[in-house]
Amino acid sequence: MRSSAALADCEAEQGSRGPGRRARWFGVLSTNALLWIVGLAMVFPIYWLVSTSFLPKEQILGAKQRVIPNAFTLENYRLLLQNQEFWPAVRNSLVVSGVVTIAGAYFATLAGYAFAKMHFPGRDLLFRILLATMMIPLMVSLTTNYIIISRLGLLNSLWAVILPQLAPAFGIFWMRQFVISTVPDEILEAARIDGAGELMTFRKVVLPILRPGVAGLMIWLFLSSWTQLLLPLTYLQDQKTYPVFINSLRTFPAIPVTHLLIAASVLSMIPVVALFVFAQKAFVSGLSAGAVKG
């Protein structure tokens, strides 16, 4: 009798758990299905771009497009790499992205350190104003910046694209949070007692501690600068100063050279994808460490 009662209780308990397990499994499966759908929707345009870049010109301009290509050619890339305007555009993109990455990271780190550890009149008000600028779209200040750059005589020069990106508000905020969470006040006080000034303390003491955050910031700055579209379109009119993607848009604007535009788009993605794949750990660790407290 006891064994029969125990068996009945066990079956009743398993029956009560059944609906709960089914609900959990349904939730997991539906979540995974939704993630797959969203992921495929985001990846498909990139897949289409890459696969189309290897198609012959006649198929690219044809009325019917295949999801799975039935032809393969490197002619589009050969013609693009032989184009005289392509390599100067690559050089311009590398120069702009390199200067913005190095100088922007230094200035943002220096400003973030000042907001985090230095005390001066109006610091909190100035930081609030900085945060407020993050909510203003770039297009709102585009006309004002254009007038300033024009009066400085920097139109049609790479500096017109570099200067607006040298003090990113998000980068300053990011590094301020990182300094607060990783640099203890005791280390700074010890350096000051030893006679080090603020800049010496920043270079010799603070910067080595901030390497993960600076690495993540540099990755973000490079990606942001390399994919920048609005500033070059607004400030650059001379083809000698075009970055790689703007050069592709303005050199190959017509339909007969769409195959070259697609190939140029794929090549312009390579540095971005490669950098993120090889440095994503530094980017994620820097971002998460800077969000600990503040």
Here the CATH number for the domain that contains residue 91 is 1.10.3720.10
- Domain contains 77: no
The mean pLDDT value for 5-12 works out to 52
Does one domain contain both 122 and 182?
yes
Give the separation between CA 239 and CA 250, rounded to whole angstroms: 8
**Which pLDDT value is given to residue 176?**
92
Burial of 147 (0-12, 13-18, 19+ CB in 10 A): exposed
Does one domain contain both 19 and 89?
no
Domain endpoint, select from 53, 72, 96? 53
Which is higher by pLDDT, 10 or 90? 90
Listed ranges 13-22, 159-168, 196-205, 254-263; the one with the highest mean pLDDT: 159-168
**Which pLDDT value is given to residue 198?**
81
| Contact criterion met (CB below 8 Å) for 105 and 220 | no
| Contact criterion met (CB below 8 Å) for 104 and 167 | yes
Taking the CA atoms of residue 155, residue 160, residue 161 and residue 167 in that order, the dihedral angle to the nearest 10 degrees is -160
Does one domain contain both 129 and 226?
yes
- Domain contains 224: yes
- Domain contains 58: no
- Domain contains 250: yes
Q: Retrieve residue 199's tokens.
A: 């800049």
Give the separation between CA 16 and CA 10, rounded to whole angstroms: 10
**Which pLDDT value is given to residue 276?**
78
| Contact criterion met (CB below 8 Å) for 113 and 179 | yes
Does one domain contain both 32 and 106?
no
**Which pLDDT value is given to residue 253?**
52
- Report the number of distinct structural domains present in the chain: 2
What is the dihedral sign for C-alpha 64, 67, 69, 75? positive
Q: What is the pTM of this model?
A: 0.77
In the chain, % of residues over pLDDT 90: 21
**Which pLDDT value is given to residue 293?**
47
Lowest mean pLDDT across 56-70, 149-163, 178-192, 251-265: 251-265
Does one domain contain both 147 and 9?
no
Which is higher by pLDDT, 70 or 94? 94
Domain around 19: 2-53
Alpha-carbon separation of residue 149 from 145, 158, 237, 286 (angstroms): 6, 11, 14, 33
pLDDT one-digit tens code per residue, 256-289: 567 788 888 888 888 888 887 877 776 666 556 5
- Domain contains 68: no
Q: Kindly tell me if the per-residue pLDDT of 17 is higher than 60.
A: no
Lowest mean pLDDT across 140-144, 166-170, 196-200, 240-244: 240-244
Q: Kindly tell me if the per-residue pLDDT of 187 is higher than 90.
A: no
| Mean pLDDT over the full length of the chain | 81
Which is higher by pLDDT, 176 or 7? 176
- Domain contains 158: yes
- Domain contains 61: no
